[in-house]
Chains A and B, each alone.
Chain A
């Protein structure tokens, strides 16, 4: 039993767009919560969820979070992660190909500055396909004044120069720790993990999920390649509706010029008899 649980799944190289593959199957011996995003039965509101939506209710909020994941994959950095401030307006309609399209009007902030920070107004179309096997939502996003927000170019460059050197070998666990502590030095790595995790959260999202990153279980710097910082992360994602903690291992690259790219992802299923996910 135990040996099964310590065998890695084979990696598959994942390119980010256009058609990302769905999650791999867990090894037979490790069937825990079988699906990282277990589907939920539709509620009365889901059925009626065509036309205007209550902005504070979950259908609108989940769609907005998906738009946020998309925003972070494109504009997140070691010094910027966006968070949802408020949904102003939302509506949904069924579309021909079979799926539901949400139209959203919402505000985001740089998460580190909290709701006090300057807010950016955004609008998005989020399309959740209704296919037999899960496929990623499609997002079209417009945010005003995105170019005008404080560029963190200086910090990014300094961070890049510090860690692109051959002798940089960053390695850390549990960020933040159980008590919410995160050193100043680790913060850019946490943000990078959060941005990289956004690629996964975006891909895995449906109308029945609401993902956040619960913790960075580990970060291990790999040998730099093509002038990109290479980082291997193990992240714990939290899905609100199912309350499941889902573990993913991923390989990401970053540079100030190219931004964050996710090169490999691997779902690490929970083994029922283990209290901690296998290492």
Chain B
């Protein structure tokens, strides 16, 4: 009885820093030992639970009760060894490691995903993400924009040479701010999920992911400095006072056809020729140079749609059935989170005929799993989606995206 009184007072001081605390490993050999330990279990910190004679039991003993516990064990003939001589030392080391990890993570953890950021902040976020996951992520400089800003894609890879890859881009239309914001969240999500989520881990074991958070940096800067509604690139159009080309009418798929404008002042101006925009050319060069992309997914807003090719014609693609059912299943995952309703269909039928679009080009060069998302909302806030919807949008989009990626992994071609 007096033992427990002693223990009780000792335990109060267990709240103090753990200098001199020890972890004792107990080798239980009999039922008597088990009974003795059951007396201790209520009061001490057991690191291994479940008593049996087959496994040792570890208990963390505060400094102040060390002698009492050791006496108790000796008295009951329970053999033990001292495992961790000084818990504090171990904790200190762990803390030091955590602090340095936390510093890295704090920069990504202190990055406010529930806010819209300028280009510099997004680029800085990319750097800290890469720095805290050096064995998983590299920053690929794919070229420069019209106004000479670097264009970066984050490459998620666990090795190999030119593994089959998945491409995801956001912000090709600069005013669609929820897309760049969601892509930042998704980048972080992939990084955190690797090694934790079996699906993402297995995906990255076989394939690479290229994620481009800001595909139109000049336009993005312009939406911050001058015109929130700017959509296009910022290239100068010769013979016109209007600037910019619609980067999603500039790809070499039905270029110049219906659904794009030949007026430089138009929001859907296709440009003087296909790939005239360096932003588009840089992506094209990367895709062609790599040669092993299996999926290409472009993220836009708004309208809540998941679309597959074609935009330049309403004729069905040969893989229409498959892509439609992949899209439908992906949307089911997306909707499951917050009940956000999406529609699935080809670009031409579900939204409008549009020529020179990216996923039409990628499909035509053989990247079968080509999709385009239009994220929240359906027109209430439109481009000006409140920041408190960024994370829910990113979370649900991620579920849809993940489904597509898993499908691509499971259907090699």
Min CB gap A66→B, angstroms? 13
CB <8 Å contact, B267 and A240: no
From known contacts A83-B380, A179-B116, infer whether A240 and B352 are also in contact, taking CB-CB under 8 Å: yes
Chain B residues with CB under 8 Å of A213's CB are 379, 382
Chain A residues with CB under 8 Å of B380's CB are 81, 83, 111
- Kindly state whether residue A176 has any CB partner on chain B within 8 Å: yes
Chain A residues with CB under 8 Å of B98's CB are none
Closest B residue by C-beta to A271: B241
Chain B residues with CB under 8 Å of A176's CB are 381, 384, 386
| A32, A57, A238, A242: the one within 8 Å of B383 (CB) | A238
Contact flags B258-284 to A (C-beta < 8 A → 1, else 0):
110101011110000000000000000
CB <8 Å contact, A40 and B259: yes
Min CB gap B121→A, angstroms? 14
CB <8 Å contact, A40 and B258: yes
- Kindly state whether residue B128 has any CB partner on chain A within 8 Å: no
Chain A residues with CB under 8 Å of B263's CB are 33
Chain B residues with CB under 8 Å of A54's CB are 345, 349
- Alpha-carbon distance between A116 and B352 when the two chains are bound, in angstroms: 28
Min CB gap B339→A, angstroms? 7
Interface centre among B226, B341, B380, by most chain A C-beta atoms within 10 angstroms, is B380
Chain B residues with CB under 8 Å of A133's CB are none
From known contacts A33-B263, A245-B229, infer whether A178 and B241 are also in contact, taking CB-CB under 8 Å: no
- Kindly state whether residue B332 has any CB partner on chain A within 8 Å: no
From known contacts A115-B341, A176-B384, A212-B379, infer whether A57 and B226 are also in contact, taking CB-CB under 8 Å: no
Closest B residue by C-beta to A247: B229
From known contacts A272-B241, A272-B242, A275-B227, infer whether A245 and B381 are also in contact, taking CB-CB under 8 Å: no
Closest A residue by C-beta to B350: A57
| B241, B258, B267, B315: the one within 8 Å of A41 (CB) | B258
- Alpha-carbon distance between A180 and B386 when the two chains are bound, in angstroms: 4
From known contacts A86-B341, A242-B267, infer whether A275 and B226 are also in contact, taking CB-CB under 8 Å: yes
Min CB gap A61→B, angstroms? 8
CB <8 Å contact, B379 and A242: no
From known contacts A245-B229, A275-B227, infer whether A84 and B378 are also in contact, taking CB-CB under 8 Å: yes
Tell me which residues from 332 to 371 in chain B have a Cβ below 8 Å from any Cβ of chain A.
Answer: 339-341, 343-345, 348-353
Chain A residues with CB under 8 Å of B343's CB are 56
From known contacts A33-B267, A276-B226, infer whether A45 and B349 are also in contact, taking CB-CB under 8 Å: yes
- Kindly state whether residue B402 has any CB partner on chain A within 8 Å: no
Closest A residue by C-beta to B224: A178
Min CB gap B1→A, angstroms? 61
CB <8 Å contact, B339 and A244: no
CB <8 Å contact, B384 and A214: yes
Chain A residues with CB under 8 Å of B352's CB are 40, 58, 240-241
- Alpha-carbon distance between A40 and B379 when the two chains are bound, in angstroms: 21
CB <8 Å contact, B379 and A179: no
Contact flags A34-45 to B (C-beta < 8 A → 1, else 0):
000010110111
CB <8 Å contact, B383 and A179: no
| B231, B240, B378: the one within 8 Å of A272 (CB) | B240
- Alpha-carbon distance between A111 and B379 when the two chains are bound, in angstroms: 10
CB <8 Å contact, B267 and A83: no
- Alpha-carbon distance between A273 and B265 when the two chains are bound, in angstroms: 10
- Kindly state whether residue B83 has any CB partner on chain A within 8 Å: no
CB <8 Å contact, B265 and A272: yes
Min CB gap A4→B, angstroms? 13
Chain A residues with CB under 8 Å of B378's CB are 83-84
Chain A residues with CB under 8 Å of B258's CB are 40-41, 43
CB <8 Å contact, A236 and B387: no
- Kindly state whether residue B396 has any CB partner on chain A within 8 Å: no
Chain A residues with CB under 8 Å of B349's CB are 45, 54, 57-58
Closest B residue by C-beta to A44: B314
Chain B residues with CB under 8 Å of A273's CB are 241
- Alpha-carbon distance between A176 and B229 when the two chains are bound, in angstroms: 13
Tell me which residues from 261 to 314 in chain B have a Cβ below 8 Å from any Cβ of chain A.
Answer: 261, 263, 265-268, 303, 314
Contact flags A48-88 to B (C-beta < 8 A → 1, else 0):
00000010111000000000000000000000010111100
CB <8 Å contact, B339 and A242: no
CB <8 Å contact, B265 and A180: no
- Alpha-carbon distance between A270 and B268 when the two chains are bound, in angstroms: 15
Chain A residues with CB under 8 Å of B115's CB are 179
Contact flags A211-240 to B (C-beta < 8 A → 1, else 0):
011110000000000000000000010101
- Alpha-carbon distance between A134 and B380 when the two chains are bound, in angstroms: 26
- Alpha-carbon distance between A236 and B229 when the two chains are bound, in angstroms: 10
Closest B residue by C-beta to A238: B382
| B266, B340, B341: the one within 8 Å of A242 (CB) | B266
Chain A residues with CB under 8 Å of B387's CB are 179-181
From known contacts A84-B378, A240-B351, infer whether A179 and B226 are also in contact, taking CB-CB under 8 Å: no
- Alpha-carbon distance between A44 and B258 when the two chains are bound, in angstroms: 12
- Kindly state whether residue B246 has any CB partner on chain A within 8 Å: yes
Contact flags A182-206 to B (C-beta < 8 A → 1, else 0):
1000000000000000000000000
Kindly list 7 other residue pairs between chains A and B, CB separation below 8 angstroms, not including A86-B341, A241-B352. Answer: A45-B314, A58-B351, A85-B341, A178-B228, A238-B382, A242-B266, A243-B268
A-B contacts, 14 listed (Cβ < 8 Å): A32-B242, A38-B261, A81-B380, A85-B341, A115-B341, A116-B339, A177-B384, A178-B223, A178-B224, A180-B385, A181-B387, A215-B384, A272-B242, A273-B241
Closest 7 CB pairs of A and B: A180-B386, A212-B379, A243-B267, A56-B343, A241-B352, A273-B241, A178-B228
B residues sitting closer than 8 Å to A (CB atoms) are 115-116, 223-224, 226-229, 231, 240-242, 246, 258-259, 261, 263, 265-268, 303, 314-315, 339-341, 343-345, 348-353, 378-387, 389
A residues sitting closer than 8 Å to B (CB atoms) are 31-33, 38, 40-41, 43-45, 54, 56-58, 81, 83-86, 111, 115-116, 176-182, 212-215, 236, 238, 240-245, 270, 272-273, 275-276
